[in-house]
Amino acid sequence: MGTDAPRSKGHRRVRRLLIALATVVGLVLVTAGLGVYTVTRSFPTLAGNVEITGLSSAVTVTRETYGIPQITAKTASDLFLAEGYVHAQDRFWEMDFRRHVTSGRLSELFGESQIGTDTFVRTLGWRAVAEQEVALLDPVTLGYYQSYADGVNAYLDTHQGADLSLEYAVLGLQNPGYEVEKWTPADSVAWLKAMAWDLRSNLDDEIDRALLSTTLTPTEVSQLHPDYPAAQHPTITGSQALTLPSAGAPRAAEPAPDSTDAPAALASVDSYAGALAELRAHLGSVPELLGPAGGEIGSNSWVVSGALTDTGKPLLANDPHLGPALPSVWYQVGLRCQSITADCPFDVAGYSFSGMPGVIIGHNERIAWGFTNLGPDVADLYIEKVTGDNYEFDGVAKPLLLRDEKISVAGGDDVKIEIRSTEHGPLLSGFDGTSYQRIASDFPEATGLTPAPAPAAEAGAEQTSYELSLQWTALTPGHTASAIFALNQATDWTSFRAAAALFEVPAQNLTYADVDGNIGYQAPGLIPIRASGNGTLPVPGWTSQYGWTGYIPFDALPSTFNPPSGYIVTANNAATDPSYPYLLTADWDLGYRANQITARLQELIAAKTPMTAELMSEIQGDNYSAIAATLVPALQQVRLSGDAAEAQKLLDGWDYQVDVDSAAAAYFNVIWRTLLHDIFTGKIDDGAALTGGDRAFSVVTSLLDQPNSPWWSNASYGTVGQESMLRRVMTDAAAEAADLMGSNPQDWQWGSIHTLELTNQSFGKSGIAPLEWLFNRGPYELAGGSAVVNAVGWDATQGYQVDWVPSMRQVVSLENFDDSTWINLTGASGHAFHPNYTDQAPLWRDHETRPWLFTPAAINAVATNTLTLEPAS
- Which of the given ranges, 212-226, 252-266, 603-617, has the highest pLDDT on average? 603-617
Give Cα 208 to chain centroid, integer Å.
Answer: 19
What's the mean pLDDT in 647-661?
A: 98
Q: Looking at residue 44, what is its pLDDT?
A: 97
Q: Looking at residue 247, what is its pLDDT?
A: 34
Model confidence at 786: pLDDT above 50: yes
Percent of the chain with pLDDT over 70: 88
- Span 37-81, pLDDT tens digits: 778 999 999 999 999 999 999 999 999 999 999 999 999 999 999
- Span 698-707, pLDDT tens digits: 999 999 999 9
What's the mean pLDDT in 666-684?
A: 96
More confident residue, 343 or 456: 343
pLDDT band with cut points at 50, 70 and 90 for residue 184: very high
Q: Looking at residue 239, what is its pLDDT?
A: 46
Model confidence at 254: pLDDT above 80: no
- Span 803-818, pLDDT tens digits: 999 999 999 999 999 9
Model confidence at 14: pLDDT above 50: no
Q: Looking at residue 855, what is its pLDDT?
A: 98
Q: What DSSP assignment string belongs to 280-314?
A: HHHHTTS--SSS--STT--EEEEEE-GGGBSSSS-
More confident residue, 699 or 290: 699
What is the C-alpha separation between 597 and 571, in angstroms, rounded? 9
What's the mean pLDDT in 444-471?
A: 59
- 6's CB contacts (< 8 A; 6+ apart) are 18, 109, 110, 174, 762, 763, 765, 766
Read off the DSSP letter of residue 180. Answer: P
Element of type H or E holding 71: strand 69-73
More confident residue, 765 or 864: 864
Q: Looking at residue 462, what is its pLDDT?
A: 79
pLDDT band with cut points at 50, 70 and 90 for residue 174: confident
Pairing outcome for strands 802-806 and 793-794: antiparallel
Q: Looking at residue 345, what is its pLDDT?
A: 98
Q: Looking at residue 272, what is its pLDDT?
A: 86
Average pLDDT, the chain: 89
Contact 299, 318 (CB under 8 A): yes
Model confidence at 438: pLDDT above 90: no
What's the mean pLDDT in 617-642?
A: 98
Q: What DSSP assignment string belongs to 206-270?
A: HHHHHHHTTTS-HHHHHHHSPPP-TTTS--SS--------SSS---PPPPSP-TTTS-TTPPPGG
Q: Looking at residue 267, what is its pLDDT?
A: 60
What's the mean pLDDT in 560-573?
A: 97
Q: Looking at residue 458, what is its pLDDT?
A: 53
Model confidence at 475: pLDDT above 90: yes
- Which of the given ranges, 26-30, 272-276, 745-749, has the highest pLDDT on average? 745-749
- Span 642-651, pLDDT tens digits: 999 999 999 9
Question: What is the number of other CB atoms lying within 10 angstroms of the CB of residue 517?
Answer: 16
Pairing outcome for strands 48-52 and 865-871: parallel
Element of type H or E holding 351: strand 347-352
Model confidence at 796: pLDDT above 80: yes
What is the C-alpha separation between 422 and 726, in angstroms, rounded? 50
pLDDT band with cut points at 50, 70 and 90 for residue 435: very low
What's the mean pLDDT in 97-115?
A: 95
What is the C-alpha separation between 62 and 53, in angstroms, rounded? 20
Percent of the chain with pLDDT over 90: 80
